[in-house]
Homo-oligomer: A and B are copies of this chain.
Amino acid sequence: MFSKACEYGIRAMIYIAQQSRQGERVGLKDVAQGIDSPEAFMAKILQALSRQGLVQSVKGPNGGFYMDAPGLKVTLAEVVLAIDGDQLFTGCGLGLPECNEKKPCPIHDEFKLIRNKIKSLLETTQVGEFNELLEKGVLHLKRV
């Protein structure tokens, strides 16, 4: 469904959202350990997300990644779009080309319905939404 980079990206955003809720910053190493991802690869992904403004970052001592209040409202859809592009939201999952609304294949309507459901699920889910469960220790972002 998503690339590895995208999975790490989603998990990292959720992790940072929870860890930085009092304006604290989270270091790369912390994030990588917290979500069980390779550190250097994680760095690349966070760089990209940072460039696109989905997460804030500060260099230097006591620096790191964080989110401001509006940052917590970033949706999973935005993260996915930033990393994997819009392939999942548009186009045919079956790779059947050259079809349009007027000449749909047998599964088009249902397929489109599903695609839209995925889209809307991701669009209505914010990275800050997982905080409570994470604090309760009910949700884990890595294997224990």
**Those of A104-141 within 8 Å (CB) of chain B:** 105-107, 110-111, 113-114, 117-118, 121, 125, 129-130, 133, 138-141
B141 and A1 contacting across the interface, CB-CB below 8 Å: no
**Residue pair B111, A133 in contact (C-beta under 8 Å):** no
Binding stretch for chain B, among A38-46, A52-60, A63-71, A92-100: A92-100
Q: Are A142 and B97 in contact (CB under 8 A)?
A: yes
Number of interface residues of A (CB under 8 A): 39
Q: Is the CB of A106 within 8 A of B88?
A: no
Tell me the bound Cα distance from A106 to B93 in angstroms: 25
A25 at the interface (CB under 8 A from B): no
Known: A110-B121, A114-B121, A117-B117. A93 touches B1 (CB 8 A): yes
Closest B residue to A36 by beta carbon equals B97
Chain B residue at minimum C-beta to C-beta distance from A94? B10
A97–B139 touching, CB < 8 Å: no
Contact of A88 (CB < 8 Å), options: B1, B113, B139, B143: B1
Which 3 pairs, one residue from A and one from B, show the smallest C-beta to C-beta distance? A7-B95, A1-B93, A98-B140
**5 A–B contacts from the bound complex (CB under 8 Å):** A7-B94, A10-B95, A10-B96, A11-B94, A103-B139
